[in-house]
Amino acid sequence: MSLTKKNKKWHADIRPSGRDGKRYRKQFDTKTEAENWPRHIISIHNQKEWIDKPKETRKLSELIELWWHYHAQHLKRANAYLTRANKLCRMLNDPTSHEITTPLLADFQAIRLSKVSPSTYNRDMVSLSNVYTVLKEKELIHCDNPFAHLKIKEVAPDLSFLSIDEIKLVLSHLKGSHLLIVKICLSTGARFIEAETLKYSNVLKDKITFTDTKSGKPRTVPISFELYSELKLLAKGDNGRLFDNCYSEFLKKFKQLDIHLLKGQVTHVMRHSFASHYIINGGNLLNLQKILGHSNILITMKYAHLSPDYLKDVLDKNPLNNL
């Protein structure tokens, strides 16, 4: 499907049955009409109640194009989602929907899991499943979702966090932007990228507001006056940011330290360290959920066992204690 503007008119061009199918073209005065018309054509093309629904003959790449046009391009990390979907499409050799069979998916799962973790594979399946979910909701396709219910069970990894001595070691070996970003993460539970992309206007006298968050929702966390004073000494960049991109350099320096973490946990170790010590020191789980920006308290519950009062009543409520 294409949408172009020529001579003050919007031109829509679509082939509902794929590249080799019948072509529909029409021009409109407004962009909204031009965007809605292809949806109407596809609906009419597929909704013939007196016969069986036609077999979906369009390639997966064509469905991804529709998904991008109607939905994905408006998401926060749109380009990353599109890159993942196109990569998986190429790995599957761009099949049509009826070519996505159980044996094909079984082969893909076996090959993919030999190279990536179960969590990465599950994100792959969610990405491709979303293409069909969105298009079905918008009545642009009528076939079953071949990627639905393909997630596999993941073993929840142990969360690594730094001890007080390890935190002291990290702080003593860092300086400049790296040191301040780590201090922000350890003081607020921010992700590294959230601290790295902070703007001068996000820092107030007693708090920091993170706007470039994973959920897209801003959150505000109090900070000490000492940290505020250090941040205000930084020169304001041309783009309003406090720091330049420096994660790669930070990663190199961190790996030079004698600190052993589980694979893949360096990225969020400062965030996990904040949350872990917050609960160890008697912090409240509901408050921690707000601080970290978790949408569901179940995500925050993974830190519950660190509470000094965690299941403490088992000591006096077990049957042996009442003998």
1-54: CATH, from 1.10.10, 3.40.50, 1.20.950, 3.30.730: 3.30.730
pLDDT of residue 53: 58
241 is an active site residue = no
Annotated catalytic residue, options 214, 241, 253, 302: 214
Q: How far apart are CA 40 and CA 55, in angstroms?
A: 18
Active site residue 178: no
| Beta carbons of 151 and 126 less than 8 angstroms apart | yes
Dmax (CA) for the chain in angstroms is 91
Q: Is 268 a catalytic residue?
A: yes
234 Cα distance to chain centroid: 30
Element (H, E) at 295: none
For tokens 């409240």, the residue is 284
E strands within the chain?
Answer: 2-6, 9-14, 24-28, 207-210, 219-222
Strand order in the sheet with 9-14: 2-6, 9-14, 24-28
Please state whether the predicted TM-score (pTM) of the whole model is above 0.85.
Answer: no
Catalytic member of 58, 71, 183, 191? 191
- Residue ranges per domain, the chain? 1-54, 59-155, 164-306
Residue 260 falls in the annotated catalytic set? no
| Predicted confidence (pLDDT) per residue in 196-215, tens digit | 999 999 998 899 999 988 88
CATH of domain 164-306: 1.10.443.10
pLDDT in tens, 138-189: 989 988 899 998 888 877 767 889 999 999 999 999 999 999 999 999 999 9
